[in-house]
């Protein structure tokens, strides 16, 4: 037997309704904010992620699925959604459209990491990206989209953590201060953070190693090194959240794991999704479009994992949609009734009913047992007696009531079915 690759998961038919539910909720909310869908390829040229995501990140250094194609080109399965959307924004000249350009996506992403509860090597992200606006209102609006999703799903006790990591000029000063703070404890840092010390010291704040967390307890805060413009932007974001009554925590440790972030960064955190509680993360990335070959363009967005959303709803015993019910099962008790069954099934499906019919050549008793097992609301029965009288029996499976009616008077059956739907 060939097994599924480690870190991947099948979405089997009796679970797919959960995905449909989540996808319908996030799409509906995105559309209420006038955000339109974009679909980008599953794989991109590796250079896009080296330039966009950053060659000092764990994603690029450790987690990307990269290979040479038959043309000897380096190709990577996308490890996140934003860089591909930025590439599409440039390549399709979306910057020439009225701004801002507001887009959402639902996409598979691939990261070679240790599989955990709610975190897979192939997982799926819902993301929102706004291009063209440098306004704090755009930052607030993308956070509000995420919060609206959680509210719609009925999820409570989620904490919004926000921070600002400033612009490149702010970070030069902060990186110098952070390195000065850590230099006497350099040998006590983990190997990854020692490597980050010169390449990208800010990312040391994102370390999950306990010994590094202890060393960083009294580290200087990036907010203390913001320039006037970045500080004003951060204050405007906080004021806007306050005005909307959205609770948040200013967390100086939030820096996000990707190099493209500038100014606002944020995470929504829950304790109901396993080892790592971040269920949505994002922020502003004003330099990304330029980094991947476009003109300077401000942008802000977020991503959230679909699997983690489903896991959270299950852990909280919250509704996650419901499996599709069968409206009508057509039981044929004789081979001569099959032609009529096919016509009836076609007719009722065109009337927007969910219809099953016997495909297994079951006995009459087995068909009724199967109809009950699949939860059919009504069963249409056509046997030899019904064929002789050109009629059918419509059985209400909830009440047990039987109605006999002529096949030619199918409109009456339709009316009964609609009333019982």
pLDDT number for residue 310: 93
Tokens 């591909």 found at:
84
Counting residues of the chain whose pLDDT is more than 70, the rounded percentage is 96
Closest C-alpha to 238, from 337, 164, 327, 129: 164
- Cβ neighbors of 296 (< 8 A, separation 6 or more) are 286, 287, 289, 290
pLDDT-derived band at 55 (thresholds 50, 70, 90) equals: low
* Side-chain half-sphere exposure of 14, counting CA atoms within 13 A: 1
User: How many angstroms separate the CA atoms of 378 and 372, rounded?
Assistant: 9
Note the pLDDT of residue 80.
93
| pLDDT tens string 122-145 | 999 999 999 999 999 999 999 999
Summary mean pLDDT of the chain: 91
22-31, 271-280, 338-347: segment of lowest average pLDDT: 271-280
Query: Residue 274: is its pLDDT beyond 60?
Result: no
The percent of residues in the chain predicted with pLDDT above 90, rounded, is: 73
Token output for 17: 């309704």
Q: Before 100, cis peptide (omega within 30)?
A: yes
Q: Tell me the whole-structure pTM to 2 decimals.
A: 0.90
Identify whether the C-beta of residue 288 lies closer than 8 Å to the C-beta of residue 265.
no
């Amino acid at each position: 037997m060939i097994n599924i690759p480690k870190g991947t998961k099948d979405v089997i038919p009796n679970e797919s309704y959960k995905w449909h539910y989540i996808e319908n909720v996030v799409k509906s909310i995105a559309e209420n904010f006038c955000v339109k869908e974009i679909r980008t390829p599953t794989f991109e040229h590796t250079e896009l992620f080296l330039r966009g995501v950053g060659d000092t990140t764990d994603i690029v250094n450790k987690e990307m699925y990269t290979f040479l194609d038959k043309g000897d080109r380096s190709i990577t399965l996308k490890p996140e959604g934003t860089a591909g959307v930025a590439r599409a924004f440039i390549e399709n000249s979306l910057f020439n459209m009225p701004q801002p350009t507001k887009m959402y996506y639902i996409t598979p992403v691939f990261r070679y990491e240790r599989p955990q509860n709610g975190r897979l090597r192939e997982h799926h992200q819902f993301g929102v990206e706004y291009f063209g606006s440098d306004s704090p209102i755009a930052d607030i609006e993308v956070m509000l989209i995420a919060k609206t999703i959680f509210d719609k799903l009925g999820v409570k006790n989620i904490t919004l953590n926000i921070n600002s990591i400033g612009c490149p000029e702010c970070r030069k000063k902060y990186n110098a201060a952070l390195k000065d703070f850590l230099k006497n404890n350099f040998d006590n840092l983990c190997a990854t953070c020692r490597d980050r010390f010169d390449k990208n010291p800010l990312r040391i704040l994102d370390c999950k190693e306990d010994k590094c967390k202890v060393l960083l307890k009294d580290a200087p805060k990036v907010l203390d090194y913001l320039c006037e413009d970045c500080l004003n932007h951060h204050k405007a974001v906080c004021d806007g959240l306050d005005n909307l009554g959205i609770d948040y925590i200013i967390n100086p440790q939030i820096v996000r794991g990707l190099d493209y972030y500038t100014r606002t960064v944020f995470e929504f955190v829950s304790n109901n999704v396993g080892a790592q509680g971040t269920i949505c993360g994002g922020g502003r990335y004003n330099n990304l479009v330029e980094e991947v070959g476009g003109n300077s363009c401000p942008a802000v967005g977020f991503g959230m994992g679909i699997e983690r959303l489903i896991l959270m709803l299950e852990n909280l015993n919250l509704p996650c949609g419901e499996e599709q019910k069968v409206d009508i099962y057509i039981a044929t008790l004789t081979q001569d009734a099959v032609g009529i069954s096919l016509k009836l099934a076609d007719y009722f499906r065109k009337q927007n009913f969910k219809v099953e019919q016997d495909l297994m050549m079951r006995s009459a008793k087995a068909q009724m047992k199967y109809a009950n097992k699949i939860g059919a609301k009504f069963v249409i029965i056509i046997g030899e007696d019904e064929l002789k009288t050109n009629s059918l029996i419509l059985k209400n499976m909830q009440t047990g009531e039987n109605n006999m009616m002529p096949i030619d008077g199918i409109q009456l059956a339709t009316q009964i079915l609609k009333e019982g739907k």
